A and B are shown apart, each in its own frame.
Chain A
Amino acid sequence: MSDHAPSATSLSRWLYTTNHKDIGSMYLWFSLSMFILGGAFAMVIRAELFQPGMQLIDPNFYNQMTTLHGLVMIFGAIMPAFVGLANWLIPIMIGAPDMALPRMNNWSFWILPPAFLMLASTLFMEGGAPAFGWTAYAPLSTTYAPPSVTFFIFAVHILGVSSIMGSINIIATIMNMRAPGMTYMKMPMFVWTWLITAFLLVAVMPVLAGAVTMMLMDIHFNTSFFSAAGGGDPVLYQHIFWFFGHPEVYIIILPAFGVISEIIPTFSRKTLFGYSSMVYATASIAFMSFIVWAHHMYTVGMPVAGELFFMYATMLIAVPTGVKVFNWVSTMWRGALTFETPMLFAIGFLILFTIGGFSGLMLSIAPADFQYHDTYFVVAHFHYVMVAGAVFSITAAVYYWLPKMCGRMYNETMGKVNFWISFVGFNITFFPQHFVGLAGMPRRVPDYALQFADFNMMSSIGAFIYGMSQLLFMYNVIATVIAGKPVEENKTWEGASGLEWTIPTPAPYHTFEVPPDLTKEKIHATA
């Protein structure tokens, strides 16, 4: 640790810290632990599905596993990982000394662990953990829910508060604390994507809070928002939930786009192609995410006009997303490519995310979706964009910025092995799920017909392989932080550009106490 840093072993340092790097690191470690927990739930699911018939767990516990797997992965692993990266990187990318609201920053992290402790504790309650899926469709999640649903609602409230505070902090930092000369159109793509993501979060987290509060009222205060018997409407819940839920998936993927837009240029030794079109594409994806929510609900019996509107709007999202993919490929085109671990994960992202985009386009076609909806085809689709999209990009980001963060180099061979096992394991797991989905296997079932047996066994084996490779990742990261080869150069990667590579390695506890003057610098694509 460099100067001014309090002792790493003192508890009060971590409890009271307002330092963006400390808080960023805590978010990342927290995310890693949740990733392992959510992964363990996934292993239980895949072990039960290894063969037809009920072997290990009962159907109710199976539903608890799928519910908690979804919640923990989305709210515990992926979102905190990106917030951690934002905390670490945004100030050192825009030349700011810290986040704009450091005390609130501490608070937004420290309410997370209790929220997840509470969520995990539902597993030991009478009636078991929530078993209604992460989407919590009423009335299964209200009238027919286990008593632990109240704790689920409270946990979601806390997560929402944490996300909203985190996003306000990010918006305030980016808007007010850029170094002189760091104009909006010179900001790194990662900063841009996070700015847009933060606005999405501020807009939709209150909507989720509203939805779960209405659940709470239905359960405890005899209202009938979602109960048809009392004049309510179960479909209303789905509209509200997906009005949050669809922007939420872009909240998860936009920072991933940002990470990839940093890594691909570095290892292509070329400037990002079409910087401004990337910014506009991100903004238009964010805007459109608000007007497509009901494509999750094609089968609820919407009028045909509504069905058509949501179908056309959803299909349109393919345009800006396509622009992003084309821009990344053009960035690689005629570059001088090298394939270090972060680049491998970025290329893995590019290929698999595009496949997930294709299945997304197929799902957007309403009449075809009548066959895809709620089958394993959907499960395959969203794991292509969530795992190969978000998780691969987080892994790439960790390998890419880890030397800067801790001043030590990870083991490159182990990193590459990590990539190849992840890539192969991932595809063995999820590619066959397209087939069983099309052949007629519904999602969220603990047992299945014999015709799906072979592909499910394959899927389970792939999942165990993928799970193992994550332990390798964890080992590689911890070994690097403790005993990796020290690195000295400010710039770890030959082709890297950006302010974070101008500060010493490891990044000192305080950086940019005096803002750098960038008014004459040529930075990023618009220079």
Chain B
Amino acid sequence: MKILKNFSLILLTMFSTNLWAQNQVNMSGGFTDVGAEIYDLHMLILWICVAIGAIVFGIMFYSMMFHTKSRGHKPADFHESTSVEIIWTVIPFLILIGMAVPATSTLLEIYDNDNAEIDILVTGYQWKWKYEYLEGDSQNIEFYSNLSTPQSEIYNTTEKNENYLLEVDEPVVIPVNTKVRFLITANDVIHSWWVPEIGVKKDAIPGFINETWSKVNEEGIYRGQCTELCGAYHGFMPIEVHVVSQEEYALWKQAKQSQGD
């Protein structure tokens, strides 16, 4: 009966605009310049696909409406045309070149890991993350970051809070408007470190150190998850990034370092 109730609920919501307003249906625009570029690229290709789809499906539906036996349409006899084949090979090729140009420039930017002001070593474990701020000579800050959602919420005995499965006991903190380089590796199996809104995803692989970077333009809390199947609790090792002002970051660092002593 519960399923039936849910089903009618779904049917109702499906046709109300509410569902679309409450639920994110698209990639987030991103709070970094690279994220914004990725978003634009994604939308560009999406619209090209929509346009091609409209033409192809339009022709097909026209044919399905009017070129039917029930309307007494007599089948035509053509079955070959070299010139048409050449046209629809060349035009898509040109469109692809048009896509490849912005894609290449965005990719090169993502791979530009130079001149970072802060280096953070991120290590994936079954099933938590460890963060280590690489400071050169001075004492490194390092800590583990575990899921903080209580088991009772996961097993449905208490009500779920709004950050269900996306909250940790100790978030990684970085300053705003600063290029931060993440060096990503793993201790056991392969994991993947993904925070959608700051435009970063890179696999954490034992024996390798991958690099990626982010420069976040806006203070706030950004949440992500592990995106490579890493065992039973793959769905339970989230990432929480707090982007704060330079002053707050300095204070946080000080507090952290004195904690370590």
Q: Which residues of A contact B203 (CB under 8 A)?
A: 299-301
A268-B75 Cα distance, complex, nearest whole Å? 7
Q: Provided the pairs A235-B205, A271-B79, A366-B107 are in contact, do residues A451 and B235 lie with their beta carbons within 8 angstroms?
A: no
Taking a contact as CB atoms under 8 Å apart, the answer to whether A442 and B226 are in contact is yes
A residues 306-329 near B (Cβ < 8 Å) are 307-308, 311-312, 315-316, 318-319, 322-323, 325-326, 329
Tell whether A508 is near chain B: CB-to-CB under 8 Å: no
Taking a contact as CB atoms under 8 Å apart, the answer to whether A442 and B205 are in contact is no
> Which of B137-145, B153-161, B169-177, B240-248 touches A?
B153-161
Q: How far is the CB of B91 from chain A (nearest CB, A)?
A: 9
Taking a contact as CB atoms under 8 Å apart, the answer to whether A373 and B201 are in contact is yes
Taking a contact as CB atoms under 8 Å apart, the answer to whether A338 and B107 are in contact is no
Residue B26 contacts which of A319, A361, A438 (CB distance < 8 angstroms)?
Answer: A438
Tell whether B166 is near chain A: CB-to-CB under 8 Å: yes
Tell whether B255 is near chain A: CB-to-CB under 8 Å: no
B residues 228-247 near A (Cβ < 8 Å) are 228-236
The proximity string for B residues 183-224 relative to A, scoring 1 for CB distances below 8 Å and 0 otherwise, is: 000001110101010011111011110110000000000001
> Which of A22-30, A31-39, A133-141, A388-396 touches B?
A133-141
Question: Which chain A residue shows the least CB distance to B200?
Answer: A370
Taking a contact as CB atoms under 8 Å apart, the answer to whether B63 and A440 are in contact is no
Q: Provided the pairs A132-B229, A366-B103, A454-B23 are in contact, do residues A445 and B49 lie with their beta carbons within 8 angstroms?
A: no
Taking a contact as CB atoms under 8 Å apart, the answer to whether A371 and B199 are in contact is yes
The proximity string for A residues 332-365 relative to B, scoring 1 for CB distances below 8 Å and 0 otherwise, is: 1111111100000001001100110010011001
> Which of B80-88, B114-122, B128-136 touches A?
B80-88
Q: How far is the CB of B43 from chain A (nearest CB, A)?
A: 10
Q: Provided the pairs A140-B231, A332-B60, A333-B59 are in contact, do residues A319 and B92 lie with their beta carbons within 8 angstroms?
A: yes
Taking a contact as CB atoms under 8 Å apart, the answer to whether A457 and B10 are in contact is yes
Taking a contact as CB atoms under 8 Å apart, the answer to whether A311 and B59 are in contact is no
Q: How far is the CB of A479 from chain B (nearest CB, A)?
A: 28
A32-B115 Cα distance, complex, nearest whole Å? 58
Tell whether A439 is near chain B: CB-to-CB under 8 Å: yes
Q: Provided the pairs A53-B153, A354-B53, A373-B227 are in contact, do residues A447 and B89 lie with their beta carbons within 8 angstroms?
A: no
A525-B154 Cα distance, complex, nearest whole Å? 61
Taking a contact as CB atoms under 8 Å apart, the answer to whether B205 and A449 are in contact is no
With most chain B CB atoms within 10 A of its CB, the pick from A325, A354, A365, A444 is A365
A370-B106 Cα distance, complex, nearest whole Å? 11
A318-B70 Cα distance, complex, nearest whole Å? 35
Q: Which residues of A contact B57 (CB under 8 A)?
A: 351, 354
Q: How far is the CB of A183 from chain B (nearest CB, A)?
A: 17
Residue B189 contacts which of A60, A144, A311, A336 (CB distance < 8 angstroms)?
Answer: A144
A325-B77 Cα distance, complex, nearest whole Å? 19
Tell whether A367 is near chain B: CB-to-CB under 8 Å: yes
Residue B25 contacts which of A316, A347, A435, A457 (CB distance < 8 angstroms)?
Answer: A435
Taking a contact as CB atoms under 8 Å apart, the answer to whether A319 and B63 are in contact is no
A277-B234 Cα distance, complex, nearest whole Å? 46
Taking a contact as CB atoms under 8 Å apart, the answer to whether A335 and B76 are in contact is yes
A381-B67 Cα distance, complex, nearest whole Å? 31
> Which of A163-171, A201-209, A226-234, A467-475 touches B?
A226-234
Q: Which residues of A contact B69 (CB under 8 A)?
A: 269, 336-338
Residue B205 contacts which of A277, A301, A370, A371 (CB distance < 8 angstroms)?
Answer: A301
Question: Which chain A residue shows the least CB distance to B87?
Answer: A326
Tell whether A274 is near chain B: CB-to-CB under 8 Å: yes
A443-B230 Cα distance, complex, nearest whole Å? 12
Q: Provided the pairs A338-B69, A354-B56, A438-B26 are in contact, do residues A454 and B19 lie with their beta carbons within 8 angstroms?
A: yes
A residues 29-86 near B (Cβ < 8 Å) are 50, 52-55, 58-60, 63
Taking a contact as CB atoms under 8 Å apart, the answer to whether B100 and A447 are in contact is no
Tell whether A249 is near chain B: CB-to-CB under 8 Å: no
Interface size on B, residues (CB 8 A): 98
Taking a contact as CB atoms under 8 Å apart, the answer to whether B162 and A139 are in contact is no
Taking a contact as CB atoms under 8 Å apart, the answer to whether B42 and A362 are in contact is yes
A330-B68 Cα distance, complex, nearest whole Å? 14
Q: Which residues of B contact A373 (CB under 8 A)?
A: 192, 201, 227
Q: Which residues of A contact B235 (CB under 8 A)?
A: 59, 442, 444-448
Q: Which residues of A contact B257 (CB under 8 A)?
A: none
Taking a contact as CB atoms under 8 Å apart, the answer to whether A435 and B85 are in contact is no
Residue A439 contacts which of B23, B38, B202 (CB distance < 8 angstroms)?
Answer: B23
Tell whether A450 is near chain B: CB-to-CB under 8 Å: yes
Taking a contact as CB atoms under 8 Å apart, the answer to whether A333 and B67 are in contact is yes
Q: Which residues of B contact A104 (CB under 8 A)?
A: none
Q: Which residues of B contact A273 (CB under 8 A)?
A: 78-80
Question: Which chain A residue shows the least CB distance to B14?
Answer: A458
B residues 11-34 near A (Cβ < 8 Å) are 13-14, 19, 22-28
Q: Which residues of B contact A308 (CB under 8 A)?
A: 104, 107
Taking a contact as CB atoms under 8 Å apart, the answer to whether B41 and A450 are in contact is no
With most chain A CB atoms within 10 A of its CB, the pick from B10, B74, B200 is B10
Tell whether A225 is near chain B: CB-to-CB under 8 Å: no
Q: How far is the CB of A238 from chain B (nearest CB, A)?
A: 9
Residue B38 contacts which of A311, A332, A368 (CB distance < 8 angstroms)?
Answer: A368
A315-B63 Cα distance, complex, nearest whole Å? 29
A368-B49 Cα distance, complex, nearest whole Å? 15
A367-B164 Cα distance, complex, nearest whole Å? 29
Question: Which chain B residue shows the least CB distance to A447?
Answer: B235
Taking a contact as CB atoms under 8 Å apart, the answer to whether B56 and A367 are in contact is no
Q: Provided the pairs A374-B227, A457-B6 are in contact, do residues A440 and B192 lie with their beta carbons within 8 angstroms?
A: no
The proximity string for A residues 169-203 relative to B, scoring 1 for CB distances below 8 Å and 0 otherwise, is: 00000000000000000000000000000000000
A491-B136 Cα distance, complex, nearest whole Å? 80
Q: How far is the CB of B19 from chain A (nearest CB, A)?
A: 6
Residue A451 contacts which of B24, B96, B200, B208 (CB distance < 8 angstroms)?
Answer: B24
Taking a contact as CB atoms under 8 Å apart, the answer to whether A319 and B89 are in contact is yes
Q: Provided the pairs A131-B232, A311-B107, A435-B24 are in contact, do residues A350 and B60 lie with their beta carbons within 8 angstroms?
A: yes
Q: How far is the CB of B162 from chain A (nearest CB, A)?
A: 7
Known: A335-B67, A374-B192. 20 other contacts (CB 8 A): A55-B156, A58-B232, A131-B232, A144-B126, A234-B190, A234-B205, A273-B80, A277-B85, A299-B192, A322-B88, A323-B88, A325-B56, A326-B56, A329-B60, A334-B76, A362-B45, A365-B42, A370-B38, A371-B38, A444-B234
* 7 contacting pairs across A/B (C-beta < 8 A): A137-B229, A300-B205, A316-B96, A332-B63, A368-B38, A373-B192, A442-B225
Query: Which residues of chain A have a CB within 8 Å of any CB of chain B?
Result: 50, 52-55, 58-60, 63, 131-133, 137, 139-140, 143-144, 228-229, 232-235, 268-277, 299-301, 304, 307-308, 311-312, 315-316, 318-319, 322-323, 325-326, 329-339, 347, 350-351, 354-355, 358, 361-362, 365-368, 370-371, 373-375, 435, 438-440, 442-452, 454-455, 457-458, 461, 525
